[in-house]
Amino acid sequence: MTNTARLRHLRLPGRTAARRVTTGLASLAMVGGALVVVASPASADPSSNAWYRLRMCESSDNYSIDTGNAHYGAYQFDLSTWRSVGGAGNPAHASKAEQDARALILYRERGWQPWQCASILGLREDGDAGSGYIKDIVVPGSASKPAGSQSKPAKPKAPPAARKTPAKHKPAAHPATRSTSAPAFPGGSHWYTYGETSKNIKVLQDQMHKRGYFPVGTGEYGPNTQKMVKQLQRLNGLVPNGLIGPNTWRMAWTGRYAAPGTGSTPAIPKFPGGANWYYHGQTNKNIKVFQDQMHKRGYFPVGTGEFGPNTLRMVKQLQKLNGLTPNGYLGPNTWKLAWVGTYHN
């Protein structure tokens, strides 16, 4: 479903039209002068271009992507959300048609809310967003109605500031204790917060204790743990929100850490774009600041401020090496990695 230069999808305006279809909503393309009908479930409701832009931002339109950030496939489903719309197994192993259909189910149930990129791109909802109406959607390969109902899922997602911001970072850490891998994050869709007590929190505390920076774990998430977690996040380019999610969990094994007062964090200027992320084709002074920082590290020419193909390749490489989705967008997390991230050509 992808090449918008060759394939134009027909947007069907909402539920009235949608009720007349099953496995997908029709889209049209000219191939060799003939009109061809192409099934594409996620061309429904929002335009096919909106879906394409969302996938490009979330995953570089890669349906099989799995970067180890606990979000999978073209629409970057986490496992609990995937299951809530009837999916089984790993979303990245599902067919394109199934991922498209389940993305449409999720949109019908919750609108654009689950996707941070939708807000970044300024995507707007239509009347079907959050309607809960999914009876017309049949998932390809499924003989029965997909999971879900007209009621919206009650399970809360992680806070927007922390969700969908994977930023695994692998610079040098305590040489005697740094590991190249970490056990799977045990919390699923639940992120641990200040005030909680859990055996899983104790596992993280004990790992940090092995690195020499924290007392033996008690399992209680108190002020010392919060201070340690925020320092760990800060040193590895994550948002220092104190939440223990999949990326912070990995940093206890693979990230850089120094106790407050024993190590220095590079001075990282605040991301200047606000809610606007920079992308290929733009030109401005803030892109030049980013390019010049990479030039100081010896990996990129002096900045021009133009986000051209060389910058795009460099940004994607920086993202890949640090566990971000290599979508080529220059947002807050990619910005930080110019100062603290791992990078080589």
From the candidate CATH numbers 3.30.360.10, 3.40.50.300, 3.40.225.10, 1.10.101.10, the one assigned to the domain spanning 158-264: 1.10.101.10
The 10 Å CB-count burial string (b at 16+, else e) for 147-162 is bbeeebbeeebbeeeb
pTM: 0.42
pLDDT value at residue 278: 94
Which sign does the torsion angle of CA 273, 279, 283, 285 carry?
positive
Q: Is the pLDDT of residue 185 over 70?
A: yes
pLDDT value at residue 301: 74
6-36 pLDDT, tens per residue? 333 333 333 433 333 333 333 333 333 333 3
pLDDT value at residue 33: 35
Task: Look at residues 107, 96, 142 and name the one whose alpha carbon lies nearest to residue 1.
Answer: 96
Task: Look at residues 93, 101, 92 and name the one whose alpha carbon lies nearest to residue 72.
Answer: 92
What residues does each domain of the chain span? 1-156, 158-264, 285-340
Highest mean pLDDT: which range of 39-48, 102-111, 123-132, 179-188 = 102-111
The 10 Å CB-count burial string (b at 16+, else e) for 180-195 is eebeebebebbbbbee
Cβ–Cβ under 8 Å, residues 195 and 147: no
Which backbone phi and psi does 334 adopt, to 5 degrees? -65, -40
From the candidate CATH numbers 3.30.70.20, 3.40.50.300, 3.40.430.10, 1.10.530.10, the one assigned to the domain spanning 1-156: 1.10.530.10
pLDDT value at residue 176: 39
Averaged pLDDT, 68-83: 88
235-290 pLDDT, tens per residue? 877 778 889 999 899 888 888 877 655 555 567 899 999 888 999 999 999 999 99
Euclidean distance between the first and the last CA atom of the chain, given in angstroms as a whole number: 31
